[in-house]
Chain A
Amino acid sequence: MTLAERIASYRATLEEWLRGLYHGMISHPAYEKIEAEAEDLEDEFMLACFPDAFGVPSPVSYYTAELLPYLQDEFEAWERRLWDRSTLVERKGQQYHF
């Protein structure tokens, strides 16, 4: 193995490590955070559409029921999430990696 090849393979490894480090420290938590935020917004949307799922009567659920065929996966996931979610702090705290 020539010196040039050794340097190249060393650099490749280093680059991979750095990318991994960057991914782990910066980009992964970042998009996880954004995704969690998006999820929260989606939850808000679902709650606005189907408050009666939690016992709050809604005069417009007749119309929002029309959306359910397209939202069925989200609906089930959302219902589970909301029943499980104990506090807002717990939910917001999840995104921090200590």
Chain B
Amino acid sequence: MIALLMRDLRLAVRAGGGFGLGLAFFLIVVTLVPFGVGPEGKILARIAPGILWVGALLACLLSLDRIFALDYEDGSLDLLVTAPVPLEGVVSIKALAHWITTGLPLVVAAPIFGILLHLPQGAHVWMVVSLLLGTPALSVLGTFGAALTVGLKRGGLLLSLLVLPFYVPTLIFGAELVRRGAEGMNTETPLLMLAGITAATIALVPFASAAAIRVNLR
């Protein structure tokens, strides 16, 4: 399984595009928003948590269709299904690789983008915490969507339609956590809810993804 993880990571780095693309997309979203809503610092500070979260979500979505598509095309997905490792484990590793290549860079870069959007000083910590807790759920749910649409000719658009509604709870609690952190309110409830959603998706959704892949390769 570690070998599989390393393979996926190497592929993401060397095949080009996959690794930095999400980050660049995130930067573009953050750059475009002030043009859309105007440069006043106060307004930007108010909407910054939401913009950062929506940007992270879209950046994550961008790379989803690559999770299984390449492996499906060159046949290595068939090999992974017949491998001695359980398919649920393979799916989890795939999600982990996706998180390391797109989620983790976003977490690291979030404070810098926060400065661009005038995110209040105290909220930076919460931004990082919420993304760190929330983005794994985005990756796992995205893997489920990718598993459903693997093998479809034009899966990309369908994938976003399927996956985005699943992202709603994570988005709500993630953005709420940062907003409350910025205003110095009690952050315990959204923090626990966010952690709970992520833990539950990591524990349960890979089974659904594995089932979907088995169906698609039958």
Q: Do A and B bind? A: no
